[in-house]
Structures are given as C-alpha cells and as structure tokens.
Amino acid sequence: MSETPPAPAHEARSLPGKPVADAVLADVARRVAKLREGGVQPSLATILVGDDDASAGYIRIKQRQAAELGFVSPHEHLPAGATQDDLHRVIDRLNADPAVHALLIQYPPPAHIDYDTALMTVDPDKDVDGMHPLNLGRLSVGLPGPRPCTPAGIEALLAHYEIPVAGHEVVILGRGATIGRPLAMLLSQKRPTANAAVTVVHTGVPDWQRYTRRADILVAAAGVPGIIQPEHVRPGATVIGAGVRYEGRKLLPDVAEEVARVAGALTPRVGGVGPTTVAMLFRNAVEAAEKATR
C-alpha cells in the first residue's frame, strides 16, 4: 500500500510586473502614434550629470524604450564637474523648448549637485517623474497631473491582477516621498482601483508589526533588506515589495523569500514593481505631450 504523498507547501500567487507594464506601454504606443499622425512628435529629454556607469546604463535603457515607443529623446550629458548653475541652465533651456514635452534628470547626481533644488526648476508639466512639489500638491487634492511613477505602477499592478482595494485595509511600511506618502494619497482617493483605508507606518514605530499583520494589502517600502518576514504578514494577504537596497549590483528586497509561504499573492523578487515604474514614466511622458497640444 503506497503512502499518501505530503500536501504541497503553500506558495503565494505571483504578481509579476511585466504583463502590467506591457499593457500600459501598448496603450502609450497607440497614443504616441496618434499624436504623430496629427503632426506632433512626442519628446522625452534626459539629463545625466557625471559618468556613473549605472546611471548611464539606465539612461540608455530609457532612450531605447523611448525610441521603440515612438518618442524622440534628446539627451544632455554634463561632465562630473558641472555646477548647480550649469544644470539649471540646461533645465531652463529644455523648459523653454516647446518641442520637449517631458524631462528626466537621472538620479542620483554627483554629491555636489542638489537634486531637489534642480527638480524645483523643472516645469511641473514636464516633470516625467511626477515628483515636483506642485505635482505632489495636485495629487493631494485630486487634480490631474503627472503621478509619481512607482505609486502609480503599484495601483496599476493591483488593478491588473484584480486585487480588491476599495474598502480594504492597505498598510504601507515606509513614509518616503517617492513611495510611501504619495501611494497613501493615491490609494485613499475615491476611485474604483483605490478607495482603501490606508495606514502609513515606519520603522520608527516600535510595534510596526502590529499594523502590518492586519493588512489586506501590505506594501513594503522601507528600503531595509528582509525587514518583512512571514510572521509580519496576515495569512492570505497581498504583499507588494517596493523597497530595495543594492549591495554592489546585488538587489536586496524588503520582503524575505519565505513570505511566499504565508501571503496569498506576492510580487516577485525581481520584475515586480520595477517594470511598472518605468511604464508609468512613459505614460506621464505621453500625457505631457497630449496636454501640450490641447
């Protein structure tokens, strides 16, 4: 008599970002084609200060993607010794150029360059990252404008996989300006893909685990490798890994691999939120071009 095989270990449903990004980028490509048919050439300008290999690589990837989607992508490369004023002069010129619809300053710049000060000089309507203070203000009151790319990508990912958000509890571990705070504003707005009860907690709260364990949807955005362990997750919850840190070229996510044994759905260690972030950047770019033609 054969023995009954052991029950398979629980494994969370995977939520890869590529199918979400592909759908967004297909829509962007259609919109770009429509603009070009009407005589408008959408443009995404990029600025790189210095010679960091990783930053230069990111710029090349974005320019290649821009070309595939039908954008033109003028590029400005300033030397490592460029001053803050040098950078501001380039930004001012691109702001004033009606042929440039969207503008990206590659982050991080060299240490002597104040990125936030440079961002303040970008025309908010050309701010492809959606991080200008005016655009964060627009988000806070529900006005149209470019949305921060990672939060918008997370909302799109949840919608794509039909994860219930409206009326459910979302807990965000991390209060940063790029993910935690804007995501809280985005997911609490009254919209079919949002309308959640959102709690933002951070590592300065001694019992932050008390909050994460009750979440229907947990977004890890602390930038602390492995901070989210199985015991910090409610069984069956959806877990979105948005925080990472790099050790050399090695990516260290906030969410431990073992969380897959507890969560109901989980973004993969690689290829989760990242592809959706890039897709939302191009969505912001095409929306900027459309706005400029109205």
Q: Active-site positions? A: 62, 106, 129
SS3 45: strand
Element counts in the chain: helices (H) and strands (E): 9, 11
The bridge status of strand 44-49 relative to strand 102-105 is parallel
CA–CA gap between residue 143 and residue 147 (Å, rounded): 10
- List strands edge to edge, sheet with 44-49: 75-78, 44-49, 102-105
- Does the annotation flag 200 for ligand binding? no
CA–CA gap between residue 245 and residue 252 (Å, rounded): 5
> Is 250 exposed, middle or buried, given 0-12, 13-18 or 19+ CB atoms closer than 10 A?
exposed
CA–CA gap between residue 281 and residue 148 (Å, rounded): 8
- Does the annotation flag 210 for ligand binding? no
Contact 257, 269 (CB under 8 A): yes
- Does the annotation flag 245 for ligand binding? no
- Does the annotation flag 175 for ligand binding? yes
Q: Which amino acid is at 169?
A: E
CA–CA gap between residue 66 and residue 286 (Å, rounded): 10
Q: Which residue positions form the known binding site?
A: 174-176, 244
Q: Which residue positions form the known binding site for NADP(+)?
A: 174-176, 244
